[in-house]
Amino acid sequence: MKKIVFDSFAMIAFFEKETGAEIVAEHLYALIQKKQSGFMSVINWGEIYYNILREQGEKSAEKILDQMQKYPIEIIGADKSLTYEAAKLKGKFKIAYADCFAAALARTLQAPLLTGDPEFKKLTGLIKIQWIS
């Protein structure tokens, strides 16, 4: 079965109906149909929450987390191994630490990362990226 790692950028675009939301929706539909398995780092899951909380308030942030539970995305904890891989990426590239967790998870699972965040362009060739825009 195909695997895909969801970045917080992609999920926020989906929930806020931004550019690329339809591509994210296609992947979510594939998860529901069991044609694909989806993953997300708990760090990126938390990133979704704090971004929505900061911009729209606690009620909206809680609603988004409730909506996310409807999709079969496995939330992967930040254990020592994943944190080590994320830290190595952070040490080598100028990208946000939370983004390093998404990239490290994609590398670990050998799965493409679904994102629209231009910061990941720095990792082209290191991980497979599926762009939403």
pLDDT of amino acid 29 = 97
Q: Please tell me the distance from the alpha carbon of residue 2 to that of residue 17, in angstroms, as a whole number.
A: 25
pTM for the full predicted model = 0.95
pLDDT of amino acid 97 = 97
Q: Spell out the per-residue pLDDT of the chain, length 133, in tens.
A: 899 999 999 999 999 999 999 999 999 999 999 999 999 999 999 999 999 999 999 999 999 999 999 999 999 999 999 999 999 999 999 999 999 999 999 999 999 999 999 999 999 999 999 999 8
For 77-128, give the DSSP string: P--HHHHHHHHHHHHHS-S-HHHHHHHHHHHHHT--EEE--GGGGGGBTTB-
pLDDT of amino acid 1 = 86
Complete domains list, the chain, with CATH: 2-131 (3.40.50.1010)
pLDDT of amino acid 26 = 98
